[in-house]
Structure 1
Amino acid sequence: MTGTDPVPGLVARVSATGTKTDTPLLAVPQAVSVIPRAQIDQQAARSVGDSLRYTPGVFADTRVGGVLESVFLRGFGGFAAGATNPQILDGLPLVKGGNWAAQVIDPSVLERVEVLRGPASVLYGQASPGGIVSMVSKRPTEQPFRAVTLTTGNRNRAEAAFDLGGPITADGRWAYRLNGLGRRVDTQVDFSREQRLVLAPALAWRPDDDTHLTLLGFYQNDPHNNFAGWLPAEGSLFPSPAGRIRRRFFPGEPGFDAYDRQQAMIGYAFEHRFDETWTVRQNLRYAHIDTRFEGVAINYFAPFGAIARLLERSASWSREAVDGVSLDNQTQADFATGPVGHTILLGLGYQGSRADVNASGFGPVPPIDFTAPVYRRPFALPAALPRTRQDWSRVGLYAQDQMRLDHWAVTVGGRQDWSLLDTANRLTAGSSRQDDEAFTGRVGAVYLFDSGLAPYASYATSFEPTLGTGFSGAPFKPTHARQTEAGVKYQPPGLDSFVAVSGFDITQDNVAAADPAHPFYSVQTGAVRSRGIEFEARATLSDSLDLIGAYTYLDTTVRRDSNPALVGKRFVAVPDQLVSLWAHYRFPGGPLAGLSLAGGIRVIGRSAGDPANSFSVPAVTLVDAAIRYDLGAADPGLAGWQASINAANLFDRTYVASCFAAGGCFYGNGRTVIASLGYRW
């Protein structure tokens, strides 16, 4: 089995995310979680963030909407342009612009979603120290199959999808896969809806057992997406003299509310095995993304007007187009030196992108009364800022050696990266350049007991470029992070289960902080730390029962800042604990044969509401449920038909998911009900 193959059931044994080679999870000296297709389907995930709800170290329920997928990994993340999105697809980084142009991949086209927690720069270049979310596309299949699904639900949901695949030629050398999806659904906020059209073709050519070429295409059109905006803590999280702000309240303007996104990608994955020692791989992808954003949002720094029920607002807009090419060349050598086995990986990675940005500043909009909102009052469109073009090129050289001696598995790797960003002002013809480089590495060891027990320890580093300059005009240096991690994994032979516990300590330096001597500028004097413990268990205990459990404890701290009052404070919007449990039971026979019941519970812990930790977002407990019925079990004439109903936040809890300031909080998603009828043949 390889790291791109479908996972039978809920428990994976092999992944390529942690090493870029097909490696057993037990032999990777870092925490890796694999969310297979079966789990995505069981839980009816409609976004990659949804699929991560039962994964340790991950907080993905930060806000409602499909504009961006804001994911926090081991405490590191952000909002808006600073958000950490699922950023790796088929081993290559997705493209991202400077404002709202970010790629979001619908999970209907994915075979698995994987999370490598902790620094990943040694293989992928610039990345958050908290980790990466890596997605694997559905690939052509050797066995023919066809599936169609119709879906409805609350909020006027209407959805249709198909998934086709199989061999093209009798000898199986050519095979195909074609996925498609159309969706339209309202959101819990007035005037807001989401629409999506997805098409993902794939073609595989296998002239012999040693040569594989897979062409991967992708098109996604989001003609309307939900930008519901944020709300002040007073009225949502806390009582207000004017009353509570309703969850369905829309703080924007119906006539000036748009987020249109079109994405197109074409690429390939090529592999050729010369002999028992040498294998070469090349992954290449071209991507294009167009976005149009128009929105009105509450002034989070001063949300209230003259009276408590009036909210001050501002408008902004942007148009952005990004073109990018991602390339990863790999040479793998498998050999032995005496008793030591080696898997050497040498690689050259490149990503180049060009972003054309036409955006506005912020303009005033008449305030709105959240108790009796009046919309469509006239306001002036904010003026355009100078149009810019950003050319960004990133090159990385990396090497890794996976050594095996008896029960020991040792991984050592290093990578040198160069990053060059040119920004041109098309109005003034001025330009700026930011040139960064960094070396990152990882060393780790695992002891593999015959019983399936695998204690491990590792040390890894990462970097991220920091865009901008200080008051002196000097460009910022990249942030650097280092992590120590130790843990134990357990995957007994012959049993369909996986258990892991890990402890980690991450420190990040060169973090931007407010310049105390020069307002509106920053200095790189900050440092932050994230420590925690994670637990994950997934198992198929019998032919009938599946279990998934996860626990996370996080201790995040600001260690240095130009503002002494912020030292010792927790990270914004990061829960101190996360707990989840999912159980899925299939009735094995009798009158209930074909029926499956599932339920889940998610506990999201308390989080800081602003950098000063002046208030907290309280913990919340949410319940999910699902029922599925194989109609063929009741009537052989209905073989292939399946019906299902899923409910997230079953009891429709109204809660605040996260805040980034006293004027910036997000309600969590209310009850979502999805009913599907599918046929597979």
Structure 2
Amino acid sequence: MVHGHRISTTASIATKTENHPMVNIAQSVTVITRHEMDVRGVLSLSQAVRYVAGITQDQRGATATRYDMFALRGFSVPTYLDGLKLEASPTGYAAPQIDMFRVNRIEVLKGPSSALYGQSSPGGLLEMSSKLPTDARSYGSVAATGGSFDLYRVDADVGGWASNDGKVRYRVYGTANGSHSQLSQTGSRRFSISPAVTLGGGGPTTLTLLGNYQYDPTNASYGSVPLIGSLVPGPSGWIRRDFYDGDRAFEEYRRKQGSFTYILTHRFSHAWELVSRARYDDIKTDYENVYTTGKWLSPTTVQRATFGSDEHLRRVAMDTQLLGHVHTGPVNHTLMVGLDYDYTRATELARAGSAPALDVVHPVYNGAIPVPPLASDYNTRQQQIGVYAQDELRIGSFYLTGSLRNDWYTAHQQEYVANTSSSQHPSQISFRVAGLYHFNFGLAPYITYSTSFQPQAGIVSENGGRTTHQADPSVGRQLEGGVKYQIPGTSMLFSAAGFHIEQSNVLVSVGDAVYSTESGRVHSDGFEFEAHADVHRNLMVTAALSVQRVHDESTGKPLVQSGRGNASLFAFYTIPKGRLKGVGLGGGLRYEASAYGGSTASMKNIRIPSYVVFDASFRYDLAAAHAALRGWTLSASVRNLFDKRYIASCYGSAYSEWCWYGERRNAQATLSYSW
């Protein structure tokens, strides 16, 4: 969706309508503004969501920074950009990653939301909004950043009117950045440019065209450390946090991603409006690495293997909606009907093999790595068509929302090495009903029931294998009740919610059989609290608390890599007057409760301990020191201020015993000039 500058008390993700007060939205929503990201020194989406209630953060620790991996209410989270879904290849290696400095705003919608968005997670979804042309005649900024692990960034963002009457407006953002990784011998580099132009600014019809090209010639490592030696002491003691399990001679992740977006808005009258948007994505990745399985072969050596994948994804996504405001007696209606379509084609050529073992105490790299043999050759086509409708009714202070959608999904996959193919053609109806009452003094209790679905690949049998069929989609259902309170006349918003999520039709493996059953069921129950003020009397505050229990009935255990909750507090205050006028100081703490990491032969129930880390921020408007420095800002931030050693995540199975260390102390400073 397209947004101009909006404060943190409005959102559009829950209803697909602009500037909706969050206190009147009968569902949990969290907004992360550009100001908050700048103050905290956010470099990635994974870092941006760390202060959101219900997030299990950093599921690959500080290692796999090429992907944004976190969970919401226990489930993985699909991401959207400008109202259209960002899709990865079926195997997940050709995955887009958006540079955070081209993002103006992030909105997190919690709970099943297929009624408006189609296939989605029971945990919710996340949307990012691009920096687009504004109504200012001329504006821009240039920033230089340096920091730990040889971090460097140069960012530029300029825009304004391209015509005397402002009917044509432009904006161009670009960056060049890179750093070493927390792991030895690895690093990342990125070059990105995003030009945008808006035609018809201020008129009844506007057309925004947005392009982006991003090239990541290198992107760190996807490695891990053995579970024994990191989570618990190993045969050679504790493994160093900079331990690299791969080999530079066989380490590559090169990504090229480009996209082109149009967003068309036409106002027929003050009551009716048409909004249409579409994007073409093209993502190509070349990936190969050596990795440890996490299993020890001797007191100092671990087993390793190789994997490589060349993938190419092309995708077209479109969404068109008609919005109208209608009055029927005392009832005000905001009506919306929409049609969306997306088509994805992906190819993958994968290789897998073995690699020499590695001594973790005295590692020797640049050894002879055998070229792995061909493992798979996939060609996948997916298509989704969705039709949806929504009515937001308001009767005085009572708000009632109903949403209904039908999706038709088709997928076909051909695998040429084994010469196999599979197809599925499910359809699914999703809906949401919600009610909220907003009292005059700012309190707004609400209740909502919503559903979601996710297609899943696999062969299913319910009669012991005598007959089989393609798996049906898993289905999510949520009942949520809560209360919101916004102090009248301020940006201070408080929210509390309790929820019960049930995901059914989940695939459950049957021994060594080639088929599964659809008997799986996952429950997620919890409570969340959030408080936000951005910026109120020079103070920005973000507080969050969540307690959750995510239970997988098929195993009798928690869902793997789902945490028990989190808590966080971040505050930042800018001194308004006196000798220190313009100085901003802030800090935060992040608590992540213990999480379940699976089961292995050596450890039946892996439990990742809870941890607390601290962050700090500084910002100084140099114009307070001298008028000639107007527009100049010096800022700095530190994550994990006290360099705490902790395990962020683990994943254990019969084949692997992996853990990932959390981010080490990471400091950065930025000097910027804006006009």
Please report the TM-score for the alignment, with normalisation by the length of structure 2: 0.95
Written as runs of structure 1 = structure 2, the 5 A alignment for 1:205-220 is 205-206=199-200, 209-220=203-214
- Pairing 1:413–2:403 present: yes
Give the deviation of 1:611 after TM superposition.
4.8
- Pairing 1:118–2:106 present: no
Question: Which residue of the partner structure matches residue 309 of structure 1?
Answer: 300
Number of positions where the alignment pairs a residue of Structure 1 with one of Structure 2? 659
- Pairing 1:601–2:600 present: no
Give the deviation of 1:622 after TM superposition.
0.3
Question: Which residue of the partner structure matches residue 179 of structure 1?
Answer: 173
Match of 1:137 among 123, 130, 135: 130
Question: Which residue of the partner structure matches residue 86 of structure 2?
Answer: 94
Match of 1:50 among 40, 43, 47: 47
**Match of 2:237, SS?**
coil
Match of 1:587 among 575, 584, 591: 575
CA RMSD of aligned residues (A): 1.6
For the Cα contact (< 8 Å) 2:458–2:515, is it kept in 1?
A: no
**Match of 1:262, SS?**
strand
Unaligned 5+ segments in structure 2 are none
**Match of 1:501, SS?**
strand
> Deviation per CA, 1:178-210, whole angstroms, max 9, x where unpaired?
111111100110111011111111111126532
Question: Which residue of the partner structure matches residue 16 of structure 2?
Answer: 20
User: Structure 2 vs 1, CA of residues 386 and 556 (structure 1 numbering), >3 Å: closer, same or farther?
Assistant: closer
* C-alpha separation in 2, matches of 1:258 and 1:544: 46
**Match of 1:573, SS?**
coil
User: Quick one: which amino acid aligns to residue 595 of structure 1?
Assistant: V
> Deviation per CA, 1:556-589, whole angstroms, max 9, x where unpaired?
1112x1xxxx21x112222212010001011111
Question: Which residue of the partner structure matches residue 289 of structure 2?
Answer: 295
> Deviation per CA, 1:368-417, whole angstroms, max 9, x where unpaired?
11111111221322111342211111111111110111111100011111
For the Cα contact (< 8 Å) 1:446–1:454, is it kept in 2?
A: yes
User: Quick one: which amino acid aligns to residue 621 of structure 1?
Assistant: V
**Match of 2:197, SS?**
strand
Question: Which residue of the partner structure matches residue 283 of structure 1?
Answer: 277
* C-alpha separation in 2, matches of 1:112 and 1:231: 34
Question: Which residue of the partner structure matches residue 477 of structure 1?
Answer: 472
Match of 2:659 among 665, 668, 680: 665
User: Quick one: which amino acid aligns to residue 498 of structure 1?
Assistant: L
**Match of 1:53, SS?**
helix
User: Structure 2 vs 1, CA of residues 237 and 208 (structure 1 numbering), >3 Å: closer, same or farther?
Assistant: closer
Give the deviation of 1:87 after TM superposition.
1.7
Match of 1:230 among 219, 224, 227: 224
Match of 1:465 among 448, 455, 462: 455
For the Cα contact (< 8 Å) 2:54–2:565, is it kept in 1?
A: no
Question: Which residue of the partner structure matches residue 514 of structure 1?
Answer: 509
For the Cα contact (< 8 Å) 2:375–2:417, is it kept in 1?
A: no
> Deviation per CA, 1:200-259, whole angstroms, max 9, x where unpaired?
111111265321211111111111112241222210011112111111000111111111
Question: Which residue of the partner structure matches residue 621 of structure 2?
Answer: 630
Match of 1:32 among 26, 29, 34: 29
For the Cα contact (< 8 Å) 2:458–2:516, is it kept in 1?
A: no
* C-alpha separation in 1, matches of 2:219 and 2:643: 23
* C-alpha separation in 1, matches of 2:26 and 2:538: 32
**Match of 1:108, SS?**
helix
* C-alpha separation in 2, matches of 1:309 and 1:573: 28
Higher mean alpha-carbon deviation, 646-655 vs 52-61, is at 52-61
Give the deviation of 1:630 after TM superposition.
1.3
Question: Which residue of the partner structure matches residue 441 of structure 2?
Answer: 451
Give the deviation of 1:509 after TM superposition.
0.7
Question: Which residue of the partner structure matches residue 494 of structure 1?
Answer: 489
User: Structure 2 vs 1, CA of residues 433 and 541 (structure 1 numbering), >3 Å: closer, same or farther?
Assistant: closer
For the Cα contact (< 8 Å) 1:624–1:649, is it kept in 2?
A: yes
* C-alpha separation in 2, matches of 1:342 and 1:631: 49
Written as runs of structure 1 = structure 2, the 5 A alignment for 1:333-482 is 333-360=324-351, 362-426=352-416, 431-470=421-460, 473-482=468-477
For the Cα contact (< 8 Å) 1:314–1:364, is it kept in 2?
A: yes
Give the deviation of 1:427 after TM superposition.
5.7
**Match of 1:40, SS?**
helix
**Match of 1:457, SS?**
strand
Question: Which residue of the partner structure matches residue 168 of structure 1?
Answer: 162
> Deviation per CA, 1:491-513, whole angstroms, max 9, x where unpaired?
13211211101110000011122
Written as runs of structure 1 = structure 2, the 5 A alignment for 1:537-556 is 537-540=531-534, 542-556=536-550
For the Cα contact (< 8 Å) 1:197–1:221, is it kept in 2?
A: yes
Give the deviation of 1:47 after TM superposition.
0.4
For the Cα contact (< 8 Å) 2:490–2:536, is it kept in 1?
A: no
Unaligned 5+ segments in structure 1 are 78-83
Give the deviation of 1:157 after TM superposition.
1.1
**Match of 2:545, SS?**
strand
User: Structure 2 vs 1, CA of residues 298 and 428 (structure 1 numbering), >3 Å: closer, same or farther?
Assistant: closer
For the Cα contact (< 8 Å) 1:571–1:611, is it kept in 2?
A: no
User: Quick one: which amino acid aligns to residue 513 of structure 1?
Assistant: V
Work out the percentage of aligned pairs sharing the same amino acid.
Answer: 35
For the Cα contact (< 8 Å) 2:96–2:257, is it kept in 1?
A: yes
* C-alpha separation in 2, matches of 1:47 and 1:115: 15
